[in-house]
Amino acid sequence: MLKIGYLVSGGIITNYKCSSKCKHCCYASSPEWPDDYMTPSMADEIFSILKSLGCHSVHIGGGEPLLKPDKILDVLQAAKENNVDIEYIETNASWYRDEASADAVLKDLKKYGVHTLLISIDPYHNEYIPFWKVKALMVACSRVRMGVLPWLMDFWADLDAMDDRKPHSLDEYARFFGQDYLLQLPKRYGLNLKGRALKTYKPRMKKQPFEEILKESKPCRLLSGIYHFHVDLYGNFVPQSCPGLSIPLRELLNGADPDKYRIFYNVESFGVGGFAELAIKEYGYDPKAEYAGKCDLCYDIRSYLVLERGLDLPDLKPEGHYKYA
């Protein structure tokens, strides 16, 4: 059985829809996603399960969780009722309009027990969000005494060197700081090369023969990330670092059937090698000669199953992860 007995700390994805379509987004969020938000009853179910598994605090992320600020209050209320603390809410600051409306949102969040915002600061986000909004939101936080976790301060001077009234493309950064700048970005940021981030960087990654990837294949242990798992608005447990693979959290509580979640079970137990064998044998997957590493192979198979074959597989959810990457 696929089972979870203990979780320490993770994140809640209240919506995948986002104002931006950042090139480094491992969740493949974008404005194209449906306008779905976590419902109060789903939030209540998730927090009560998390609490029963020993998880007493979570952060909230997305998508952009404050795209529609009123949608998040019921989620926060459910957390409160289940005695789960909110460590912080991640935001890209795109929703900032003016002082009065920002203060009102922040005061509401504080009333519901949120005391810190993690605010994104990096060139990827700056392709969509002008830096003045980030600065103004930080000032608003200081005005209403909301804590700020600037993510990452290391990029502040870079963004501040550009005109803060408008967004700037990565090409502009390369023109300003030199071509090396873009090559160093993934490492400076600490990118998780999955989802859209993998798509963005794949052309520059070293290629490896298919057979060699199979030979090196090891179990991916998707259920062991008890400190940085996510649960999304549909109730899916999203393993640490591997979005697009999922099992409903409520099923993992009592033990999910490996025959129902065969892909998840295969990568969990045998790694991408086991998954590739399954895909070739049962779904007619035709492997390429080489890939940009094991995760590229894993994504190639998953995208084939969801997008090319149009299969409705319970462990490759939500489909939007593949559609909108």
Residues that bind ligand SF4 (CB under 6 A): 18, 20-22, 25, 27, 29-30, 62-64, 92, 125, 194, 220, 242, 267, 272, 294-295, 298
Residue 192: strand, helix, or coil: coil
Give the shortest CB-31-to-ligand SF4 separation in angstroms.
Answer: 9
- Residue 249 beta carbon to ligand SF4: minimum distance, rounded to whole angstroms: 18
* Rounded Cα–Cα distance for residues 192 and 198 (Å): 8
Measure the CA–CA gap between 107 and 172, rounded to whole angstroms. Answer: 36
Nearer to ligand SF4, 84 or 222 (CB): 222
Which residue lies nearer to ligand SF4 by CB, 74 or 321? 321
What's the closest the beta carbon of residue 48 comes to ligand SF4, in angstroms?
26
CB of 49 or CB of 220, closer to ligand SF4: 220
State the nearest-atom distance from the C-beta of 125 to ligand SF4, in Å. Answer: 6
Query: Would you say 18 or 46 has its CB closer to ligand SF4?
Result: 18
DSSP-derived letter for residue 202 is: G
Residue 122 CB, shortest distance to ligand SF4, in Å, is: 9
Contacts for 224 with CB less than 8 Å, ≥ 6 apart: 240
Cα–Cα nearest to 292, from 192, 206, 191: 206
- b/e per residue, 253-264, with b = 16+ CB within 10 A? beebeeeebbbb
229 backbone dihedrals φ, ψ, rounded to 5°: -75, 170
Residue closest to 7 by CA, chosen among 265, 238, 190: 238
Helix (H) or strand (E) holding 273: helix 272-283
Show Cβ contacts of residue 1 under 8 Å, excluding neighbours closer than 6 positions: 255, 256, 257, 258
Q: Which is nearer to ligand SF4, 77 or 149 (CB)?
A: 149
Cis peptide preceding 63, ω within 30 of 0: yes
Which one, 235 or 243, has the nearer CB to ligand SF4? 243
Residue 82 or residue 96: which is nearer to ligand SF4 going by CB? 96
Among residues 49 and 317, whose Cβ is nearest to ligand SF4?
Answer: 317
Query: What is the total residue count of the chain?
Result: 325
Least gap, CB of 293 to ligand SF4 (angstroms): 8
Cα→Cα distances 197→29, 309, 311, 314, Å: 11, 23, 24, 24
Q: How far apart are CA 102 and CA 146, in angstroms?
A: 12
Q: How far is the CB of 285 from ligand SF4 (least distance, A)?
A: 14
CB of 52 to ligand SF4, least distance (A): 27
Q: Which residue lies nearer to ligand SF4 by CB, 8 or 214?
A: 214
CA–CA separation, 27 vs 196, rounded Å? 7
Smallest gap from Cβ 109 to ligand SF4, in A, equals 18
